Amino acid sequence: MTPLLKRREFLIQSSRAGIACCAVLMGASRLAHGNSMPLKAGEPIDPKSLNYCGYKCPADCTFLLASQKNDPELKKKAYEQWKIKEKYNVDFDPEKIYCFGCKNREKPEGLVLTNCTVRQCVISKNLDCCVECRDLDGCKKELWDQFPDFKKIVVEMQKQYFTQQAG
């Protein structure tokens, strides 16, 4: 059983990195979940098409699918993958665990969204994505502390974005 637990922990952490990082993987080139996450040379960066942090959620995101289907089993899986109990000290309740995407203004905001400091900051600055923010490189939000490699990717996306804006 121990190998399974280690494998499970690895998968959970990997999922968290990809999802919670709803920012990182958007930039590199196909970093997460086997979905295309653009940052190919010369490909334009469109802040409106990205989440506030720069990530683009994969179409097969467990949390999004669980919420859309209102599936308690999938919600439980997402709850565990995202370590909701550990991060927010909230017991599992399928009525409280949901995510419809951070820019979906037609649906209610779930626990993860309401606690995302990057999202709050970008909204407060009236931007579409943090790649537009001149303070990104020095930003000390929790997301960047948890996922420094993702931040590097987003900073690179920002450089490409500013280059395309200047050109």
Cα–Cα distance measured from residue 99 to residue 137, given in angstroms and rounded to the nearest whole number: 28
Q: Are 157 and 27 in contact (CB under 8 A)?
A: yes
d(CA 81, CA 13): 7
Segments making up each domain of the chain, as ranges:
2-166
Reported as a single tens digit per residue, the pLDDT across 7-39 is 555 444 443 444 343 333 333 333 333 333 445
| 33 within 8 A of 11, measured Cβ to Cβ | no
Separation in Å, CA 10 to CA 5, 28, 54, 130, 150? 8, 21, 24, 28, 18
Beta strands in 12-55, from DSSP E residues, in sequence order: none
pLDDT, residue 61, reads: 92
Long-range Cβ contacts of 69-76 (<8 Å, 24+ apart): 70/94
Mean pLDDT of 136-149: 93
d(CA 137, CA 114): 23
Residues 48-95 pLDDT 10s: 999 999 999 898 999 999 999 999 999 999 999 989 999 899 999 999
CB 137 within 8 A of CB 148: no
